[in-house]
Amino acid sequence: MAGPGPSGASGDATYAGLVRPLLLPTWAVVGILMVLPVCLMAVYSFLTKEFRGGVIWDFTLAAYDQFFITRGLFGDEPARIEWTYIGIFWRSIWQAGLATLLCLFIGFPTAWFIATRPARSRGVWLFLITIPYWVNLLIRTVSLKFLIRETGPLNESLMAIGLIDTPLPLVNTNLAVQLGLFYSYLPFMV
């Protein structure tokens, strides 16, 4: 019969009984710093904007009306749906979803690999994952742009080994956006 601890049957109940109360502060922080601001933004999006800033507590759909529908400056044009903004909105949702899936498909196996390593080497692996966070996000993004530009090291290397004849236009493309999102958020998934 197993004694108390995380490995035995009686230990599982004791372990779970200890872990749940210890997780309460974590869930409180997540709720206060992540869920609450998103809920506040959702509520504020339905309020009327005040002239000098702030909001008037009068619920309306005016913000969504302005986002999705365009009217003439002087009211002389009929209202029409603004497909440009709708397209940008859905492209943003698509890019975010794709980046999340890419990070999941790479991050989960990486986390699994780290979790199955001996305890003495897990710290080294996590250290290697967190090294990019020692540098500011803006600096990492500009560095990534330098690497993938037409005269950057990536294109120069591909041309030097003969894989391509002319530089690939990678900057300001959907691929560049995906690469930037993936590079920025992969460690969070791990």
Residue 180 has pLDDT above 70, yes or no: yes
- pLDDT band, residue 44 (cuts 50/70/90): very high
The strand pairing partners of 68, in sequence order, are none
Closest CA to 99 of 186, 1, 4, 9: 186
The yes/no answer on whether domain 102-190 falls in CATH 3.10.560.10 is no
Average pLDDT value for residue range 102-124: 93
Q: What is the pLDDT of residue 3?
A: 47
Model confidence pLDDT, tens digit, residues 69-95: 887 777 677 778 888 888 998 999 999
- pLDDT band, residue 45 (cuts 50/70/90): very high
Q: What is the pLDDT of residue 7?
A: 53
- pTM assigned to the model: 0.68
Which H/E stretch holds residue 69?
strand 69-70
d(CA 170, CA 164): 13
Query: Is residue 178 within 8 Å of 96, Cβ to Cβ?
Result: no
Would you list the domain boundaries of the chain? 102-190
Residue 1 has pLDDT above 60, yes or no: no
